[in-house]
């Protein structure tokens, strides 16, 4: 099974020649949920995980974005991660009694001559969304599918594409993280992409102003935010 982990300053719009990339609903990639899970005979199926999401989405009801820019690379619209949202979250359960004890999905196995699985891991699935911008100053909300074993979860597991985080070098506590730089992501790498709403654009501008006060630096050539 492939585990998909997706681990400022105010600037003027960049003049770009126009190139349109149409993201039609029919062009959505095959969902990773339709693929085969590891140890399928032991998998009991998916169930909703409503407590871990903002809501449910039907992508056929959303209008896909058209990119009017010479570059189809997108970068997070600000270093701030407050715009990140989770949708369509689900949790997959394994039957430990049927699970191969040698499988990486078996967390605890017996010590008998013929070992069997005592405790199974679980699978998590969620659509992670965040706000992005292209080199021409247009804004979007991008959606990415993420699936992972519960025991593999880390602080970066549910990062939206294009973001980084680092250990705070000034902190004595391990795991005290700070926001790092951003990096460009191809628009075609997103599961779905739509234009940002006026309300989201207003939040982006506020986030940019806040990042400017915090000393973040924007590189217009790379279309990315750098650490000071």
Model pLDDT, residue 217: 80
3-state secondary structure of 127: strand
Q: What's the pLDDT tens digit per position in 32-54?
A: 887 888 889 999 999 999 888 89
Report the percent of the chain where pLDDT is more than 70: 86
CB of 147 within 8 A of CB of 125?
yes
Question: Given pLDDT bands bounded at 50, 70 and 90, which one contains residue 27?
Answer: low
pLDDT reading at 2 higher than 70: no
pLDDT reading at 200 higher than 80: yes
Q: What's the pLDDT tens digit per position in 68-87?
A: 898 999 999 988 888 999 99
| Entry pTM | 0.80
Measure CA 124 to chain center.
13
CB of 88 within 8 A of CB of 127?
yes
pLDDT reading at 141 higher than 50: yes
What DSSP line would sit under 34-81, residue for residue? GSPPSSGGGEEEEEE-GGG-SB---GGGSPPPEEESS--EEEESSS--
Q: What is the gyration radius of the CA atoms in the chain, in angstroms?
A: 20
Model pLDDT, residue 228: 66
Model pLDDT, residue 29: 66
Question: Given pLDDT bands bounded at 50, 70 and 90, which one contains residue 175?
Answer: low
Sign of CA dihedral 171, 172, 176, 182: positive
Question: Given pLDDT bands bounded at 50, 70 and 90, which one contains residue 222?
Answer: confident
pLDDT reading at 201 higher than 90: yes
């Amino acid at each position: 099974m492939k585990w998909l982990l997706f681990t400022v300053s105010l600037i003027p719009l960049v003049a770009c020649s126009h190139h349109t990339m149409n993201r039609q609903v029919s062009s959505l990639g095959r969902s990773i949920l339709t693929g085969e899970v590891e140890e399928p005979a032991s998998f009991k199926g998916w169930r909703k995980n409503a407590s871990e999401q903002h809501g449910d989405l039907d992508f056929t009801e959303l209008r896909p974005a058209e990119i009017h820019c010479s570059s189809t690379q997108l970068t997070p619209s600000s270093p701030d991660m407050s715009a990140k949202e989770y949708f369509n979250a689900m949790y997959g359960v394994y039957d430990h009694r049927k699970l191969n004890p040698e499988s990486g999905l078996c967390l605890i196995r017996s010590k008998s001559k013929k070992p069997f699985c005592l405790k199974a891991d679980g699978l998590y699935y969620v659509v992670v969304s965040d706000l992005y911008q292209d080199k021409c100053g247009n804004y979007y909300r991008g959606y990415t599918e993420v699936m992972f074993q519960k025991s593999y979860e880390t602080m970066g597991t549910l990062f939206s594409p294009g973001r980084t985080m680092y250990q705070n070098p000034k902190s004595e506590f391990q795991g005290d993280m700070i926001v790092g730089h951003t990096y460009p992501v191809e628009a075609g790498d997103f599961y779905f992409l739509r234009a940002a709403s006026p309300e989201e654009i207003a939040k982006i501008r506020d986030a940019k102003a806040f990042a400017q006060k915090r000393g973040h630096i924007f590189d217009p050539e790379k279309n990315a935010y750098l650490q000071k």
